[in-house]
Amino acid sequence: MCFEVKNKDLLGRIGKIKTKSGVIETPLLLPVINPKKIEIQPKEIFDEFKFKALMTNAYILKKYFETDVIKSGIHNFLGFSGVIMTDSGGYQILRYGYVDVKPLEIFDFQEKIGSDIGVILDVPTGWGVSKNYAEWTVNETLKRAREIQNYLKNKHITLWVGPIQGGNYLDLISFSARELSKIPFDIYAIGSPTEVMERYFFDFLVKMILTAKLNLPPNKPLHLFGAGHPFMFSFAVALGCDMFDSASYALYAKDERYLTETGTIRLKNLEYFPCDCPVCRNLTPKDLKEKEKSERTYLLMRHNLYVCWSEIQRIKQHIIDGKLWELLELRARAHPSLFKAFSLIAKFSKLFLKDTPLFKERGVFIFDNISVKRPEIISYRKKLVENYGKPEEAEILLLLPPPSTKPFHKSREFKLICKFLEDADFNLKDFHICFYTAPFGVVPLEIDDVYPLSQFEVGKPFKGEVKIEVAKSIIRYIEGKPYKLIVIYRDPKLLSDRLLSRIIKEKRGLVSIDVIKKPYSKDSFNHFIEGLKNIVSREFT
């Protein structure tokens, strides 16, 4: 095992990958270095920017520097003491259609030069190709992977990556991942995402990553080739990508674009730097614009690397805090395509239940209808139906609107409820008091301080879908529960009237009393108690 997981949130993982050059921590971004044209020295990337790993191209090294790099080893050749991952020429195949090297030849070369992580010579599918061609790329990549399989079983010092192909055909991605998982690669990778990201098809990228992830061994790291802009790093991590490479810091700089965590800004449009990195602290935009083109590009590269590094650290801290979902909510507002992708992630939230911690150090923030799809909320509703049983003595379920303070059992309103019931000569043991609240639905009094039922903050009012979800939660809860009578004190701001009316019509022994003003005002609650007396008297005589 070369991979050890330390923390998880959603499908994001902080982990350790053991390589011959040391241990690297995920989520991991590997800046891409072109060995023919090194614009920022690898030593600078390691020492100043603290990147412990980088990626370069073994095919270019072999074509132009073969003798020197074999003689000195790749770490000495590049002057980099961290972990080096080498690509095999797949990008060149995607761009030019051909490379003059054989799969076993480039495999052997990467071992000889001492690559810490190597990639087999795959055939990238690309985007928008025919189904027949896509099938060929998948089968050809699998054929090459199987030819190398016997070498993988022997002792080797390089960790090997198996690339998943399929392009825009999810069935081929699924097949490719399943077949590759039968081969003992140390790391798996998703190929051909570059054009997807360049076109801002982030919703399809969600499908690509999840399709691959669900068909791979969970104990192996997953790499995403060509991750691009830092505003989508958190999405890649949340979907289960442990590693990704990016040349965006250099490509954007050459185009005079200044990276931020939420987008890019043309240098010519900048009047102020919204950043505190060393480049931005020591220069003004005017200073930078006045420099020579080569120096301007170099300084923009440095700034862009700082932004990428900071975003990775931010993602890690959000995993530690159990707040990766909140980071997605922030990043989703950076671009409509990201918001579309986030909406799709919310629809798949059941896939995150297993890996999202049950208890966290911080509460849950609920902003809108998408927030209601959080795994913590879905998990609670599921567990309430499957694992919770009502108190044995209770025959009457009282479903009440939420009090103004949490936990509910310590609230003024709950004490008021108990007093009203006692004053009306009811036996409290006959009643099971539960509250209904957005976004959780039914909250039994006995567990109302269990995380996250009291540890959340919510924006109000909720409308439409959320009100329907609360009503559905009530339906799922009361099905199969042996109450003789169910009384709902209905607040129309929280419960869907149409759906609730249907429930009452279909389920015997369920009645509703509507709130006439504020739920816990004296007049409203007197109205509720009088109604309750009449209902209990009618149902139990």
Catalytic residue annotation: 87
- Considering Cα of 418, then 424, then 425, then 429, what sign does the dihedral take? negative
Return phi, psi of residue 405, to 5°. Answer: -130, 160
Beta strands 222-224 and 53-57 are: unpaired
End-to-end CA distance of the chain: 68
Burial string for 234-269 (b: 16+ CB within 10 Å, else e) reads: bbbbbbbbbbbbbbbbbebbeebbbbbbbebbebee
Q: Give the distance from CA 497 to its chain's centroid.
A: 35
> Nearest 5 degrees, angle CA 226-CA 145-CA 72?
65
- CA 213/CA 536 separation, integer angstroms: 54
Q: How many helices (H) and strands (E) does the chain have?
A: 21, 20
C-beta separation of 215 from 178 below 8 A: yes
Return phi, psi of residue 264, to 5°. Answer: -120, 155
- Which distant-in-sequence residues (6+ apart) come within 8 Å of 269 by Cβ? none
- 3-class DSSP state of 117: strand
Written in H, E and C, the secondary structure of 392-456 is CCCCEEEEECCCCCCCHHHCHHHHHHHHHHHHCCCCHHHEEEEEEECCCEEEEHHHCCCCCCCCE
Closest CA to 176 of 186, 190, 187: 190
